[in-house]
A and B are shown apart, each in its own frame.
Chain A
Amino acid sequence: MPRIGVFVCWCGSNIGGVLDCPAIAQEAASFPGVVYSTEYKYVCSDPGQKLIVDAVKEHRLERVVVASCSPRLHEETFRQVLRRSGLNPYFFEMANLREHCSWVHPDTTVREQAQRKAVDLVRRAVAKAARLEPLFPGKIPVVRRCLVIGGGIAGIQTALDVADAGLEVLLVEREPTIGGNMVKLDKTFPTLDCSACISTPKMVAVAQHPNIRLYTYAQVEEVTGYIGNFKARIRQKARYVDHSKCNGCGTCWTRCPVTVPDDFNLGLGERGAIYIPFPQAVPNKPVIDLEHCRRSTRGKCGACAKLCPTGAIDYEQKDEFVDVEVGAIIVATGYGLFPWEKVYGEYGYGRFRDVITGLMFERMVNASGPTGGKIQRPSSGKEPKTVVFIQCVGSRDEARGKEYCSRFCCMYTAKHAHQILEKIPGSEVYVFYIDVRTFGKGYEEFYRRVRDEGAVYIRGRVSKVYQDGSKLIVRGADTLLGEQVEIAADMVVLATGAVPAAGAADVARMIGIPQDKDGFFQEAHPKLRPVETHTGGVYLAGTCQGPKDIPDTVSQASGAAAKVCGLLLRDELETNPLVSKVNEALCTGCLACQPVCPYRAIQPVTITERLPGQPPRERVVARVNEGLCQGCGACTVACRAGAIDLKGFTNKQLIAEVDALCL
């Protein structure tokens, strides 16, 4: 029996405030194999780690059990401690007393039960520790290439940073242009610098960077593999324009006879069936929207093909697939807007044309937008004199929308209010709000300035918007005055909150990133690992992880890039030693394990068996390719002879755990 040491962590009051840690340590001392048992306030801290190192030396410990938080958080931390102590890092086991006990059983009424459970969990860990074997990771080469999914400002920034470090980047964007939501914005708060002026140069930099390969109008369809060695399949959607021939002269898109509502301008403008989303698009070459193309709807037209001076139009183009190998993936799929039309009946379910969203307002006030920067009512084209802004549409509304705060709406509304007051003399602006949140640098100052300019802030919700002749009547509560207010407005702008981009769930499933309850991608740790995910080699940048403004998005994008550089600039990676292994003496060669392996890691091999007193004979056994095996353990259950076992989760260990828990 190896000599086991047990360290019970208080985690401050997180565990110590609910469980009696000294009592747990005392009881653990009596478990088989335990020669040393103690407790400490924070075992993960520097003195806590030193405690382990010293105890290993002093008590000649051979296995270490830490009873603290989730192994998903600190297993790696403590393995390093064992390495420093001169022990094999896999001689370590954790009992999860925090997430699985003290945090979920905090009530005094169940104190005794929780205490008993904690002791059971430690007993389980000790039982497993007693049966741990030394494990040694192998080495694998790293593919020095990074895949970035999403070409908004997060994807652009992260791609540029990784590429500048000398690594190869593949940037995949599903729209015909990169730029994302940011490039749709007019001015950015609180500095009021023009969004296009600061984002389009970055877009160009991406297109021209020697280390970046750009795939627009493309989607990642399949991801397999693991950290350092992913394989991805990219679908290049048919553009029906051969971009290698097209010179972007613009003849085709100015002469297309079709007009359809323009999604880039959120339906406020029109475009042709062959189009570029906006004049500064990157790449500045068109795609054909076949659904609306007259040649495909009516069978004849072909104007663009006739006009194209380079013969780039190809109506027969098909989707193409590109298979790539990458070492890391950065997901930057961004956000969409809360679909307010479906639930906010009091704002008219989208029936009133003059009720618009903040993003529509951005397009309207943008000089390159559908109105050329003129603020006008969609219904009549006239300039609005009275504009009402409604905050928190879809955000902070548990009944109808989402519980969370979308973080940027307060500020963009303040900016919109400023723009109305600046551009329309004699205009009136009212803002209905719950709280005004101005957390960023220079934000509060900007908000104050807008109030000073004359924006009237009303604290309360709007209960109803209805059409009365040409006016929209906005009825709401002023909760500071305790009064009902009614405003006859010309236009109502909704501060619609952010939700994960359409298709986020598919990306999550494809790559294996957990989503939080609202569908945003779950970071590995909310504070200390904000750009990593629980899938090794996969990182997050920008609003796909949660709503954030441009400065925060760019910071996170650069953070993800730094992480990727840290990974890919290594020569090789350690492989996971928790893989399956065949005991060839027991293996009958039935190969029932082979078809259940998702990684095709099991192959038959012929071995020569020499038994005493018998002539050598050849027979077939199964063998696991440790480079391919990911350690799921499905094969272990399929094995009839019990010949395959999973290192780190062996049959013996698991059965000992069961026994320890049922004691």
Chain B
Amino acid sequence: MSVNESDVVTTAEGAAWEPKIVAFLCNWCSYAGADLAGVSRIKYPANVRIIRVPCSSRVNPQFVFRAFERGADGVLVAGCHPGDCHYVTGNYYTRRRLTLFKRLLEYVGFEPERFIVRWVSASEGQRFAETVKEMVDGLKHLGPQKRVSRV
């Protein structure tokens, strides 16, 4: 056999494993960007599940950790580009908080690909789709997240 068996992760049911991504998108830019990807019919992998928040600054690092605990393989937080926040300064807090939090995650052994913070504007449907694609590729390479997953 040419394929190394350990390369192919399968679920208990035997289907090929698919990573699960929880995405927190701000209502004004990134959620609209994901809507635009839909309106423009830009295809991307079906691994992402979106939660709408008013602003990326609403995302408490606890939510991210909770997702990992519950078995998410990756978490995406997306908001308006710095300087373009609907709430003027919200995403600056996001940037600071989540940069620190990402470092903490990496410190405790998370691969950097598992937690992504990305700026996606309402006109960047393509960028949203690419971000998801990129994340799914990265996570497929890493395999399931087992570090804190309780499932």
Contacts and interface: CB of A to CB of B under 8 A. Distances in A.
Q: So, do A and B actually touch in the complex, CB under 8 Å? A: yes
A101 interface: yes
Contact of B38 (A104, A522, A535, A598): A104
A469 B44 CA distance: 56
A632 B72 contact: no
B66 A659 contact: yes
A596 interface: yes
Contacts of B54: 578, 631-633, 646, 649
Contacts of B70: 658-659, 662-663
B58 A99 contact: no
A649 B38 contact: no
Given A70-B35, A658-B70, A522 B122 contact: yes
B43 interface: yes
Given A512-B86, A514-B29, A534-B32, A658 B59 contact: no
A284 interface: no
Contacts of A662: 20, 22, 67, 70-72, 151
Contacts of B44: 104-105
Contacts of B42: 104
A514 B38 contact: no
A636 B86 CA distance: 17
A120 B47 CA distance: 11
Nearest to B73: A662
B55 A655 contact: no
A315 B122 CA distance: 45
A631 B29 CA distance: 15
Interface residues of A, number: 53
A636 B44 CA distance: 32
A73 to B, nearest CB: 8
B35 A634 contact: no
Interface residues of B, number: 53
A661 B22 contact: yes
Given A515-B123, A649-B54, A658 B63 contact: yes
B10 interface: no
B46 A649 contact: no
Contacts of A100: 34-35, 38, 50
Contacts of B32: 72, 514, 534
Given A598-B90, A630-B87, A637 B55 contact: no
A448 interface: no
A517 B39 CA distance: 13
B57 A534 contact: no
A389 B73 CA distance: 58
Interface of B: 18, 20, 22, 27-29, 31-32, 34-35, 37-39, 41-47, 49-55, 57-63, 66-67, 70-72, 83-84, 86-90, 93, 97, 121-123, 129, 151
17 contacts: A100-B34, A100-B35, A104-B42, A104-B129, A106-B41, A107-B43, A113-B46, A113-B47, A121-B49, A598-B88, A632-B57, A632-B90, A633-B54, A637-B97, A658-B70, A662-B22, A662-B72
Nearest 10 A/B pairs, CB to CB: A99-B38, A633-B58, A514-B122, A662-B70, A632-B87, A634-B57, A632-B55, A103-B38, A113-B46, A598-B88
